[in-house]
Amino acid sequence: MNSTYFQHTLARNLTFVGRGLHSGLPVRMTLQPADPDNGIIFIRSDMPLFQSEIAARWYNVTDTRLSTTISSRFGAKVSTIEHLMAALYMCGIDNARIVLNGPEVPIMDGSAEPFVRMIRQTGSLQQNAERRAIVIRHQVRVEEHGKSASFLPGPVPWVDMTIDFDNAAIGHQKLSVPLDRDLLDLDVSAARTFGFQEQIDTLRKLGLAKGGSLQNAVLIGDNGVINPEGLRFEDEFVRHKVLDAVGDLSLAGMTIVGRFMGMCSGHGLNNQLLRQLLAQEDAWFLTTLSGAEKYGTWTQGALPNPEKRHHQAAI
């Protein structure tokens, strides 16, 4: 069977050193191989062992202001996981232990590119377990303040994102891309996070963006982009929103076969959509990725009976 149907882990340990975008704190983070079906697990090495582990799953998301934060029941938390999660998805890493000595993933250059480059250099190992998939049967939609996020049935994983900002430097941007690992890498991995100069004081009072600089974010002022090097893509902003969505949706813990449509959707709505989807059991079924491909040209009538679908103990 094709290797894309199997779970993968890292070939060996890989360490990153940097600072958190919001906390501004220095952090050392080591990505380690993990067993099949473990998923991605964050471990706070600066906390006692019994409380240090947090599974990177949708139900552990506790804060979505400007970044995605996950927390354990025992008080451990890790912020700004989304770019690393997107990089792991793009590199096909299903299982890894992410050991870090602080509360936030290093921001690197504000994109996923440094993570993707180093993970690809390190390499991955195929494991003896199949990848699982959630196949969307019916539309699921969440909305808030004129913004929305939906999943629709579709033959392959796909992301559509539209953003609309009053600021002329951004304006209206749209991107529609298959969730194909290599294409995503090409299209979105280098797109940087962005922020507005007028919001910096407010954010810092809230304890956010303390580590932000022109080295790790695109800053937009009254007269457009402030960074002297300009943009990496003409539509870098919507590309970054797709990158964020890829990271946020990867918290499902498996491939979602269907079409994600985001209308100005950010971390909060992305997580609400996953919660809504997984609560609405008639809207999807679980299978292996190889099994999902058989439904590549499916119609409603060709779908298996929901009663017969394969239930996992923990989603």
Interface residue list for Zn ion (CB under 5 A): 193, 244
The residue (of 211 and 291) whose beta carbon lies closer to Zn ion is 211
CA-to-CA distance for 44 and 142, rounded, in angstroms? 32
**To the nearest whole angstrom, how small is the minimum distance from the Cβ of residue 68 to Zn ion?**
9
Give the neighbor-by-neighbor strand order of the sheet with 255-257.
255-257, 132-136, 284-288
**To the nearest whole angstrom, how small is the minimum distance from the Cβ of residue 162 to Zn ion?**
17
Burial pattern 178-197, b for ≥16 Cβ within 10 A else e, equals ebeeeebbebbbbbbbbbbe
**To the nearest whole angstrom, how small is the minimum distance from the Cβ of residue 309 to Zn ion?**
34
Amino acid at 123: G
**To the nearest whole angstrom, how small is the minimum distance from the Cβ of residue 82 to Zn ion?**
5
**Residue 267 annotated in active site:** yes
The residue (of 113 and 244) whose beta carbon lies closer to Zn ion is 244
The residue (of 247 and 253) whose beta carbon lies closer to Zn ion is 247
The residue (of 193 and 255) whose beta carbon lies closer to Zn ion is 193
Contact criterion met (CB below 8 Å) for 142 and 156: no
Question: Tokens at residue 162, please?
Answer: 């539209």
**Of residues 8, 22, 240, 267, which has the active-site annotation?**
267
Q: Residue 106 forms beta bridges with which residues?
A: 20
Give the neighbor-by-neighbor strand order of the sheet with 259-263.
140-144, 147-152, 259-263, 158-164, 172-178
CA-to-CA distance for 118 and 205, rounded, in angstroms? 34
Kindly list the catalytic residues.
267
